[in-house]
Amino acid sequence: MNAIEISGLQKSYSVGFFRKTEKVALKDLSLEVHEGEIFGYLGPNGAGKTTTLKLLMGLMFPTRGWAKILGKDIDDPLVRASVGFLPEQPYFYDYLTAAELLEYYAQLSGVPAKERGARARKMLERVGLAGSENTQLRKFSKGMLQRAGIAQAIVHDPKILFLDEPMSGLDPIGRREVRDLIQELHDEGKTIFFSTHILSDAETLCDRVAVLNKGELRGIGVVADLLADSGNKVEVVWQGSAATAAVCALNAECHTTGEIARAIVAKTMLDAAIDAIRRAKGNLISVTPVQTTLEEYFLKRIEQGATAGGNAKADSAVLEVKT
């Protein structure tokens, strides 16, 4: 069974003073997320990621199409007992303490009264908020709120997690911790659907990703496939400068650092390059396929979509690359 099934989902608004102009926020989205996978939902700001999540959470209503979570229609409020949701840059009730907040959410999700207290404390510890249980949330920093947000999303032990930009607002250490936490939750068997405009997060975490721009799905697939798909080159490293001229003649990029030389050549030229090195008595060190990064793939997909709509540069400029 698919954890999430989305079919022909569309959302458009009427905008303008007389509500005559129609703005499409999400266009005919269809995708499936398998149980137990980490699914990355990528796109620049304003691509329609948050709209998709709000539609799935029942916060907005689609103009067309339908979606199912764990085989049940999203209208069924009971579905949401097994769903955890972290909104983008969450903000909580100022005058509650972190523990009270989690207990409240546990109540709403139907966690039995006996377990609530223990569960709340455990989750706060898990997201690194141990010791702040009895602090009112108005005293929390942005990063702490983000952690509390993750805690509330998992307090009722959901099967599926929807995380909207889970790493935003965190420092590098916090980002790594959240990344590890997501990995841990994945290992526990939870399905995780998270949106991000930060590619490195997706690259390290996701099993599969979907790329969204201007409300339209631009690409979807297994991360490795997406990358392998575009990588037809290999990197060859060897010792001995005698072979350099011959290899570089094979239409390759060459770099030499003292005795060590590197060249990137097309796969079809690999045999010729190795032959050239042998002939020159060079010492072959390594041959590795060159991977395109997800970022390159991403930029390419967005530019493809944008050439039709124009303004490719502005779109790709909003993509953030962090490591």
Partner 1 sequence: MLARIGHIAYNTYREAVRDRVLYNLVFFALLLVGSTPLFGQISIGLERIVLVNLGLTSISIFGTVIAIFIGIGLVSKEIERKTLYTVLSRPVRRWEFLLGKYFGLAGTLAVNTFFMAIGFFAALLYLNHAFGRSDGQLLVAIYFIVLQFLIITAITLLFSSFSSPLLSALFAFALFFIGNFADDLRGLAGILKGTQHWLVMGLSYLVPNFGAMNVISQVAHEQAVSGALVLQNSIYALFYATAALSAAIMIFERRNLK
Partner 2 sequence: MSQSAIFKKPVMYVASGLLLASMTMATLTAHRLDEMRPQATLMDVIYIQSPRAVKVMSLGYTGLAACVYWTRAVQYFGEKHVLRSKRLDLLPKLLDLTVSLDPHLLPAYEFGAIFLAQKPPEGAGMPDEAVKLVERGIRANPDYWKLYYSLGFIHFIERKDYKAAEKAFDEGSKIPGAHPWMKVMAAAMAARAGDIESARFLWTQIYEGSDDKWIRRNALSRLIALRVDDDVIHLDKMVQGYVKKTGSSPSSWQNLVAMGWLQGAPLDPAGEPYELQPGGRVVVHDISKFPFIEHGIPEGENRSEFIGPAADKVLEKPGIAPK
Binding site for partner 2 (CB under 8 A): 61-65, 73-75
In the DSSP assignment, the letter for residue 323 is -
- Minimum distance of partner 2 from residue 61's CB (angstroms): 4
110 binds, among partner 1, partner 2, none (CB under 5 to 8 A by kind): partner 1
CA dist 176 to 140, 172, 184, Å?
Answer: 20, 6, 12
Q: CB 287 → partner 2: shortest distance, Å?
A: 55
- Joined tokens for residue 73: 């229609």
**Distance linking the first and last C-alpha atoms of the chain:** 34
Under the binding rule (CB under 8 A), the answer on residue 177 touching partner 1 is no
Binding mask 131-160 toward partner 1 (x if CB under 8 A, else -) reads -----x------------x--xx--x----
Nearer to partner 2, 73 or 184 (CB): 73
Total residues interacting with partner 1, rule: CB under 8 A: 39
Q: Is 94 in the site for partner 1 (CB under 8 A)?
A: yes
With tokens 């993509």, the residue in question is 319
Q: Is 111 left (phi over 0), alpha (psi -120 to 50) or beta?
A: beta
Position 312 contacts partner 1 (CB under 8 A): no
Residue 38 and residue 206 in contact, taking contact as beta carbons nearer than 8 Å: yes
Give the binding range for partner 1 (CB under 8 A) out of 103-111, 170-178, 189-197, 260-268: 103-111
Residue 91 interacts with partner 1 (CB under 8 A)? yes
Maximum Cα–Cα distance across the chain: 78
Residue number with CB closer to partner 1 (76 or 229): 76
From CA 17, how far away is CA 107, in angstroms rounded? 42
Binder of residue 63, out of partner 2, partner 1, none (CB less than 5 to 8 A by kind): partner 2
90 binds partner 1 (CB under 8 A): yes
For partner 1, which is the closer residue by CB, 137 or 276? 137
> Which residue among 93, 115, 173, 176 contacts partner 1 (CB under 8 A)?
93
DSSP readout, 222-286? Answer: EHHHHHHHH--EEEEEEE-GGGHHHHHTTT-EEEEETTEEEEEEEGGGHHHHHHHHHHTT-EEEE
Is 195 within 8 Å of 53 (Cβ atoms)? Answer: yes
Residue (10 or 292) nearer to partner 2, CB: 10
Q: Half-sphere exposure (CA, 13 Å, Cβ side) for 257? A: 4
18 to 57: interface string for partner 1, x by CB under 8 A: ------------------------------------x--x
- 219: β partners: 211
Decide if residue 215 touches partner 1 (CB under 8 A): no
Which residues are registered as beta bridge partners of 136? 97
Q: Which is nearer to partner 2, 74 or 83 (CB)?
A: 74
Judged by CB under 8 A, does residue 59 bind partner 1?
Answer: yes
Two tokens, residue 214: 């201007």
User: Is-contact 172 198, C-beta < 8 A?
Assistant: no
